[in-house]
Amino acid sequence: MTQTIAYILIVINVLTFLVYGIDKWKAKQGSWRISEATLLILAVLGGSIGALLGMKIWHHKTLHKKFKYGLPLILLVQIALIYLIIQK
């Protein structure tokens, strides 16, 4: 079970990282964008590390407060939840 969850988290984080890169590329092209809600939902669903890496690597959404402060907060909540689950 733990291994399956780890694989799922890896996949969602890689996907989230790529989506942030795609959105940055689309922003540079001036084309249709991925909504901020979608970017945040991917983080909430377990892709917070991929989102933070995407922000850092792609230099994307770094000035938006809901990303700059929200994503680390989401990650901290996820770490706390994992800790609580492991302790049971």
The band of 84, judged by pLDDT with boundaries at 50, 70 and 90, is: very high
C-alpha 26/C-alpha 34 separation (Å) is 8
Is the per-residue pLDDT at 85 higher than 90? no
Is the per-residue pLDDT at 11 higher than 70? yes
Find the DSSP H helices in the chain: 2-29, 36-42, 48-58, 65-68, 70-87
Give pLDDT, residue 69.
95
Q: Is the pTM of this model over 0.85?
A: yes
Q: Mean pLDDT across the chain, nearest whole number?
A: 94
